Structure 1
Amino acid sequence: MRRFLIVLLISVISVSAFCQTPNGAAPLYNDLSDKLKKEEIMNALPLSLEMYRVYVPYFWDAHHRVLSKRLIEDDYGIKVLSFLKVLISKGDPEIKEMLTPLYLWGKVRYSNDSVRVNESFTDLTAYLEEGTGFANSKAETYMLMTLKELEDKPFVSKKRQQEVLKKVVANLEACECHESDNRDQLTLTERAWSRYLLAQSYHYRYEHFDQNPEYLGKSAQYSPDQMDLAEKRAFQMDAFLFTGQMELLKYRIEYFSWLDKEGEHAAALEQMASIAFAYPSDTNMKLLMNYYADHGGKQDFPVYWQAHINSQGAEVPNLKFRFSKHDKINFSDKQEKWLMFDFWGTWCPPCIKEMPEVQAFYHENLTRGGVPKLLVYTLSFMSENLSRFMDENDYTFPVAEIDRKDLNAFGVSSFPTKVLVTPEGQYVVIPLGADWKLFVKNYVLL
């Protein structure tokens, strides 16, 4: 069941344009989510069972995403707990497997009985033996939440808590997604979720069990990077449960400060560079440049920065694109400039909405003066009447039609997506929803 569910869940977690869901699933999901959010939660039981019958991924999303959030609301959490107890008791083994860790965390949260808390802790520990709970029980998430509950309930020994935390880390680090060069949607989504939990796990160990700086470094290492940010919906709810917000830079900054204080300036510089790469705001770029001037300085900063971006990118696929008779790109040839590609389609409303912005950026780049450092292209997928669309809107940016093979080669599944290719042939994907012009400006140093 688990691998099948992971594949289906991409239709829920990602914003891919190609997802297909059964007829009636979306309205049912909305009705169920609405019921779960309101006081008549027990009235959601028939809807819940129907959603499980119709489309398991939406069932998973509604219950883990909505109920986990409501479970931490003290005036409502007990009702959520009662609902979960009834739902699990219906006897379907897959529902039981999927929701019991959530229920056990809730039992720990709302119990002050030492025996019951220990029983729930033991039962939840057993779920960790089945391997990572991504897209199924989310046992690792709910164990971390249980450990937070135990901070105020000294019913479980610190030794047991530490052993369980090690098991959580072992499960998450065993994920093949960390080693795979595969950038398909499934791998990237699982990677984003497991890395976020690893960052939380290592920092929790650093804060609550021993102050070993190695664990602080691990929490920074696993903090969301460029690829994870593109899949942030995979861990968005986990972030809300742990901290109440998306604290994506906190551990990186904390580790940078520790390294700088210890005089480990080379390592601190690399940490600051990783921060600027993931979040290239003008402020972060200025901080990086200043720190490089004080503690780096062997190369000109643009050379150092471009080398860092190359180290974070992936090798560009061996593809060819033809934009006009005299404008072609062949990635088997060495490129001497930065290249930006916008993946879009005329069927995509967000793409159409930002086309004037793409056109303006293309024109601004052409008229910047001097030898251009960047060339701007667009790649259209499944567009209808593309030439007419371009003519009617007076768009002059280069465009080529591509197929699904080209999309898969770059790991693109959401639209619009911007990809930046370095002169050395490494590419990075700009996170969906980010200020792409800021990323391009500060990566290329325009």
Structure 2
Amino acid sequence: MSKNLLSIAILILAMGIVFVNVWKPSQADGEKDLPKEEAFRGSEEIPGASFSKVKEGRPAPDFELTTLDGETIKLSDYKGKKVILNFWATWCPPCKAEMPHMQNFYEENNNKGIEVLTVNLTNIDKGEENIKTFVKEYGLTFPIPLDENGLIGPQYQAFTIPTSYIIDSNGMITKKIVGPMDEAMMKNLTNNIK
């Protein structure tokens, strides 16, 4: 008798699995007539990070930060120039490898209408003194805004660092790069935009 009960239980379980996988419930009230992409969009949002606003082909969201030198800058101050917007931290090995390339590129191109802004993710770094030591050690001369409150990095989806954005002279994001770049890559990416 127990073999029969076990067989019946397995059969009912199997039918339940098939039913759940085949049965398609009617759409929820809030999702009627929406394509699947539209219905999913609401779950993309992470507090402080609007994925729909920060992507290629969209305007780069403006922000205001204080640089390591104490100067207040806004991304919109650089409208009219091409911008490499980079997110990094001192403890990040790929960031360390990328910085000499950033510096060389900056020296060769800052008077040609191209700006390099390297936003330090200060809220996850090892303190301002460590950042100053790093900057001195690597001889960095480009502006280094400090994301002390940890708001701009997530907004720009800098979840893996380095993360960089190429922004054209109209303030539009033309490319997102996750991982380190070298000078040739920076030159290629900035040559191909207006």
Q: Which category of TM-score, normalised to the shorter sequence, fits these structures?
A: 0.5 to 0.7
Q: Does 1:415 align with 2:149?
A: no
Do 1:334 and 1:424's aligned partners in 2 also have CA atoms closer than 8 Å?
no
CA distance in 1, matches of 2:190, 2:153: 24
Q: Say which of 151, 161, 167 aligns to 1:405.
A: 151
Helix, strand or coil at the partner of 2:112: coil
Matched, 1:315 2:179: no
After superposition, the Cα gap between the structure-2 partners of 1:329 and 1:171, relative to the gap in structure 1 and judged at 3 Å, is same
Report the Cα distance in structure 2 between the residues aligned to 1:326 and 1:425, rounded to whole angstroms.
Answer: 24
C-alpha RMSD of the superposition = 4.2
In 2: Cα distance, 1:185 partner to 1:320 partner: 15
Given that 1:128 and 1:171 are in contact with CA atoms closer than 8 Å, whether structure 2 keeps it comes out as: no
| Contact 1:373–1:444 (CA under 8 A) maintained in structure 2 | no
Q: Give TM-score, length-normalised by structure 1.
A: 0.30
> For structure 2, which runs of at least 5 residues remain unmatched after alignment?
1-9, 27-33
Q: How does 1:387-398 map to 2 (within 5 A)?
A: 387-398=132-143
- Paired letter, 2:84: M
Q: Secondary structure at the match of 2:101?
A: helix
Asked if 2 retains the 8 angstrom alpha-carbon contact of 1:316 and 1:426, the reply is yes
Q: What does residue 344 of structure 1 align with?
A: 88
Measured in 2, the distance between the counterparts of 1:419 and 1:172 equals 29
In structure 1, what is the Cα distance between the partners aligned to 2:120 and 2:164?
12
Deviation, structure 1 residue 333: 5.1
Query: Normalization by structure 2: what TM-score?
Result: 0.62
Q: Indicate the SS of the match to 2:84.
A: strand
**Match in the other structure for 1:426:** 172
Q: How does 1:352-371 map to 2 (within 5 A)?
A: 352-366=96-110
Could you tell me the percent identity over the aligned residues?
A: 22
Q: Is the 8 A contact 2:49 2:154 kept in 1?
A: no
Q: How many residues align?
A: 164
Residue matched to 2:74:
330
- The letter for the 1-side match of 2:145 is A
The aligned residue for residue 373 of structure 1 is 113
> Counterparts in 2 of 1:266-277, with a 5 A limit?
none
Per-residue Cα deviation, 1:264-308 (whole angstroms, up to 9, x for no partner): xxxxxxxxxxxxxxxxxxxxxxxxxxxxxxxxxxxxxxxxxxxxx
2:84/2:165 contact within 8 Å kept:
yes
Cα distance change on mapping 1:421 and 1:172 into 2, 3 Å: same
The structure whose RCO (Cα within 8 Å, separation 6+) is larger is: 2
Q: Paired residue for 1:437, among 165, 168, 186?
A: 186
Provide Cα deviations, 1:4-26, integer angstroms capped at 9, x if missing partner.
Answer: xxxxxxxxxxxxxxxxxxxxxxx
Q: Does 1:173 align with 2:43?
A: no
Number of the residue aligned with 2:31: none
Deviation at 1:313, TM superposition (A): 2.7
Change in CA separation of 1:388 and 1:431 when aligned onto 2, cut-off 3 Å: closer
Instruction: Provide the rounded CA distance (Å) in 2 between the counterparts of 1:124 and 1:186.
Output: 38
Does the CA-based 8 Å contact 2:97-2:180 persist in structure 1? no
Could you give the per-residue CA deviations for residues 314-353 of structure 1, whole angstroms, max 9, x where no partner exists?
A: 3333321333669653245572212211100012122112
Structure 1 SS opposite 2:80: coil
Counterpart secondary structure, 1:356: helix
Alignment partner, residue 21 of structure 2: 126
- Say which SS state the counterpart of residue 316 (structure 1) adopts: coil
Structure 1 Cα separation of the partners of residues 180 and 93 of structure 2: 17
> Is the partner of 2:96 in helix, strand or coil?
helix
- Superposition pairs of residues 29-48 of structure 1, within 5 angstroms: none
More helix by share: 1
